[in-house]
Amino acid sequence: MTDIATTRWPGIARAPRTPLKARVAKAILKPTVNHVPVRLTFANGSTWGAGGADSPEMRVVRPKSFFARLGADTKIGFGEAYMAGDWTTGTGTDLADLLEPFAARMATIVPVPLQRFRVFVDKKLPHHQRNSVKGSRKNIEAHYDLSNDLFAQFLDPTMSYSSAWFESPEQDLEAAQLRKIDAILDDANVTAGTRVLEIGSGWGALAIRAAQRGATVTTITLSSEQAALARQRFVEAGVDVDLQLVDYREVTGEYDAIVSVEMIEAVGEEYWATYFAKIDQLLAPGGRVAIQAITMDHHRYLATRNSYGWIQKYIFPGGLIPSLDAIDQTLGDYTGLTVTNRRSLGQDYARTLHEWRDRFTTNWEAVRVQGFDETFRRMWEFYLAYCEAGFRTGYLDVYQLAMGRPTEV
């Protein structure tokens, strides 16, 4: 196994010493996994799981460390064990294929009698990850300022870091991303002369597309790395876009169209009312809003809203996925806006993530030379496969939501 850098990955380099919790985790996992169509194989030849020889295989390399991590923190330990190499996939098993049966049973995989103890397992979001104006900047920088070159190794040429919308199995990722962007702009009625505000610039693809329609575009971001590359891309595309490094709460003006792609996940439940009220405040009479939002079923949102998991710790600090019901309720309570159209792209996201992971794996050497180590590689692979499995099973979905004021629609 490759040595893990202790200073960079203190929680991964050494497994926790919790023998009692490890035994409890082992005692719970065995009967649970025996109802899941997978195979857990161990070095001593033993096998757990309900899967046959052709089922996805999870190979437990270091059982002691694996169960110690699982016992110490159930929600985070499974992913950390993969990062550490305590478990891996068997020969011929794709990581998302292995995770899919678990994702499909996410709500019931813990036996019902034990779910009452969830309150003792769940950890709340750390205070430093709150999405205040200061906290949001730090949370965004932690992910999006990693390296533009890193993202370029697995994204398509548009540098779109959100779900594509595929027209057919034959359509390539770049064309599907442009189709997604055009759908958002169409939903917001963006044409020549439209005053557009984009909340969350990414690397500029949507702003470029809107400007090419003849719109007057303002786009905002908190990522200085993204801003630098986006400005370069605006010049290369020959478009005039006003990019501002500001928080959405600091924006002023009036806009005919407000668009935002997969940014609400970084807002935080505490600030949803502020976010949507600000959009309502900035929207001109007769204006339209179009957002793309990752969602989960309302009952799952209610069950996970106060928990702190692997994704928040390692990938998206401060992140929280809403439900459609939660969005509707917030709009009704704090704005004059209502959702006028919904378009699900859930299975498109599963394919998008799969293509990203293929590109990331293929181009790993170009990522590694930027200073990213093997632990980071396994973390990123787990993140992409974990999300892919969630969208495949419908545990997660993603919607394009068109909004307007009822009296003006």
Q: Which residues contact 11 (CB under 8 A, 6 or more apart)?
A: 80
pTM above 0.85, yes or no: yes
User: Coil, strand or helix: which one is 88?
Assistant: strand
* Length, in residues, of the chain: 409
Residue 253 has phi, psi (to 5 degrees) of: 115, -170
Alpha-carbon gap, residue 144 to 316, rounded angstroms = 9
The pLDDT of residue 88? 98
The pLDDT of residue 136? 76
The pLDDT of residue 119? 47
Mean per-residue pLDDT pooled into runs of 10, the chain (409 residues): 75 90 94 94 95 95 96 93 97 97 77 48 58 74 85 98 97 98 98 98 98 98 96 98 97 98 95 97 98 96 89 91 98 98 98 98 97 95 98 97 88
**Could you give the percent of the chain with pLDDT greater than 70?**
92
**From-to residues of CATH 3.40.50.150 in the chain:** 127-404
- Alpha helical stretches, state H, 73-189: 74-84, 95-104, 112-115, 118-121, 133-144, 148-152, 173-187
How many CB atoms lie under 10 A from the CB of residue 11?
Answer: 17
Task: Compute the mean pLDDT over every residue in the chain, rounded to the nearest whole number.
Answer: 92
CATH of domain 127-404: 3.40.50.150
E runs forming strands in 207-333: 216-220, 241-244, 255-261, 283-296
Q: Which residues contact 211 (CB under 8 A, 6 or more apart)?
A: 217, 234, 237, 239, 240, 241
The pair of three-digit structure tokens given for residue 109, joined into one six-digit string: 């995989």
Which residues does the annotation mark as catalytic?
A: 387
User: Coil, strand or helix: which one is 283?
Assistant: strand
The pLDDT of residue 115? 47
Question: 225 vs 230, 232, 236, 314, 396, CA distance in Å?
Answer: 9, 11, 17, 19, 29
Alpha-carbon gap, residue 68 to 15, rounded angstroms = 7
Alpha-carbon gap, residue 171 to 311, rounded angstroms = 30
How many CB atoms lie under 10 A from the CB of residue 2?
Answer: 10
Alpha-carbon gap, residue 376 to 69, rounded angstroms = 18
